[in-house]
Amino acid sequence: MSSSVPLLTSTTRRRAGSTTLRARLERIANAAVTPLVPADYLDLFNPLRAGAELRGRVVAVTPETADAATIVIRPGRDWAGHVPGQYVRVGIDVDGVRQWRAYSLTHGPRPDGNISITVKAVPDGVVSHHLVHRVQVGTLVHLEQATGEFVLAPEVTDGPATAKLLFVTAGSGVTPVVGMLRNLFPVTDSGVVRPARSAHLDITVVHVAPSRPDSIFIRDLEALDAAGAIHLVARYDDVHGLLDVDTLGDLVPDLGERATYACGPGGLLDALETHHAARDLVLYTEQFRPATLVVGEGGEVTFAGGASIETDGATTLLDAGESAGVLMPSGCRMGVCFGCVVPLTEGSVRDLRNGALTTAVPGETGPEGIRIQTCITAAAGPCHLDV
């Protein structure tokens, strides 16, 4: 198996260097006619320096499937590191608007200090399509420090006793799991390494995808399986049909002895939670997007700058604002990180996960409004947001 860390050819390096030089010259020219403070001048020449706003530079883009790519980023000097399984918020300018998205880190700490994310282009995904199909080597992106609790406990990775684990992944939900596996079993030019520190781990991976060509990281998983690091159970919808979690015990006969870590669509995770709770089994989950269980009434959403948009009851306020051209704060887009919170100053919104209604009434609600998460709420009639 080839190295999972993409290498730049000399031609690519020259092209990337030329592009970077042109970009710097353009920034310097713009600076000549724009008032700047000392920090701005430092940013022109060393944007990744210690003490600067945390950024990263794209150093490689490698296609994984027709609609997914791994982006390798050199983070700034103040990057604090991460634990395999965590995610990072990435900010990138798309058509003049800075967009923020959260992506799982697909590698443990690397010798070269770089970090990597793997992005799947989703339908109507402004940022995902840009990262997969348009982003260039040399592009600067904004970063936040890594976060997230979907990680292996130290007593699992460092404990002396045999630890039996089951990973259940579906679609792009494999990305945080690959980060964990690559840390436990590094991949080099000569193949998979099985270090002594991971010898006590007994790992089964049930990986679900529409088809093998659509399966992100399937080559990595198959290489780990061939090396004996994991036992892979691949389930493809076009061959096996949709996974029925009630058959999980048939796929993994010693299921009751394993702690399960699952990441994927809300429907799969909900089914696993019901399945494991009924059997009193240990389950840890990570979900990229909230499951929509209810639908709001819809209505006109008005923003502080005067923009407005008519939305249906299934469109989140975050998506509505971005469609209206409003610069919306955002983060994980699944109701976890609270990076999308803004004040609701008038009107009603409904939580798409549980149907809870939140209403702000002028004269009754405080002037600061009611802070709501725009990624998991939709309009329930006319409403005004202070953003």
Q: What is the pLDDT of residue 1?
A: 36
Q: How many other β-carbons are positioned within 10 Å of the β-carbon of residue 137?
A: 19
Distances in Å between the alpha carbon of 71 and those of 101, 210, 325?
Answer: 14, 23, 26
The topology under which CATH files domain 154-286 is Rossmann fold (3.40.50)
User: Considering only CA atoms, which of 130, 86, 81, 113 is closest in space to residue 5?
Assistant: 113
CATH architecture for the domain at 299-385:
Roll (3.10)
- Summarised one tens digit per residue, pLDDT across range 302-352 is 999 899 999 998 899 998 998 898 988 887 777 777 889 999 999 999 998
Q: What is the pLDDT of residue 291?
A: 57
Write the CATH number of the domain with boundaries 10-143: 2.40.30.10
- Summarised one tens digit per residue, pLDDT across range 239-283 is 999 899 999 999 999 999 999 999 988 889 989 999 999 999 999
Q: What is the pLDDT of residue 13?
A: 39
Q: How many other β-carbons are positioned within 10 Å of the β-carbon of residue 262?
A: 25
Label residues 289-319 b or e (16+ Cβ within 10 Å = b): ebeeeeebebbebbbeeeeebebebebbbbb
Q: What is the pLDDT of residue 329?
A: 86
pTM summary value: 0.70
At 61, list the tokens.
């883009």
Alpha helices in 69-108 (DSSP H): none
One pLDDT digit (tens) per residue for the chain, 387 residues: 333 333 334 343 344 445 555 555 555 555 454 554 455 545 666 889 898 899 999 999 999 999 999 999 999 999 999 999 999 989 898 887 778 888 999 988 888 999 999 999 987 788 899 999 999 999 999 999 998 889 998 878 777 777 999 999 998 899 999 999 999 998 777 789 898 889 999 999 999 999 999 899 999 999 999 999 999 999 999 999 989 999 999 999 999 999 999 998 888 998 999 999 999 999 999 876 655 556 668 999 999 989 999 999 889 999 899 889 898 888 777 777 788 999 999 999 999 888 889 999 988 888 889 999 999 999 999 999 999
**124 phi-psi bin (left φ>0, alpha ψ -120 to 50, beta other):** left
At 67, list the tokens.
């609609």
Beta-sheet strands, E only, within the chain: 55-65, 68-75, 87-94, 97-104, 115-120, 140-143, 163-170, 187-188, 191-192, 201-209, 231-236, 259-263, 283-286, 299-303, 308-311, 341-351, 357-360, 370-373, 377-385
**Between β-strands 187-188 and 191-192, what pairing exists: parallel, antiparallel or unpaired?**
antiparallel
Q: Delimit the domains of the chain by residue range.
A: 10-143, 154-286, 299-385
Topology match between the domains 154-286 and 299-385: no
Instruction: For residue 240, give every residue at least 6 positions away whose Cβ sits within 8 Å of its Cβ, in sequence order, or none.
Output: none
Q: What is the pLDDT of residue 298?
A: 92
At 65, list the tokens.
């499937």
Q: What is the pLDDT of residue 142?
A: 93
Instruction: Render 98-134 in DSSP notation, one character per residue.
Output: EEEEEEEB-SS--TT--EEEEEEPPTT-HHHHHHHHT
Q: What is the pLDDT of residue 29?
A: 52
Q: Are the CB atoms for 231 and 205 separated by under 8 Å?
A: yes
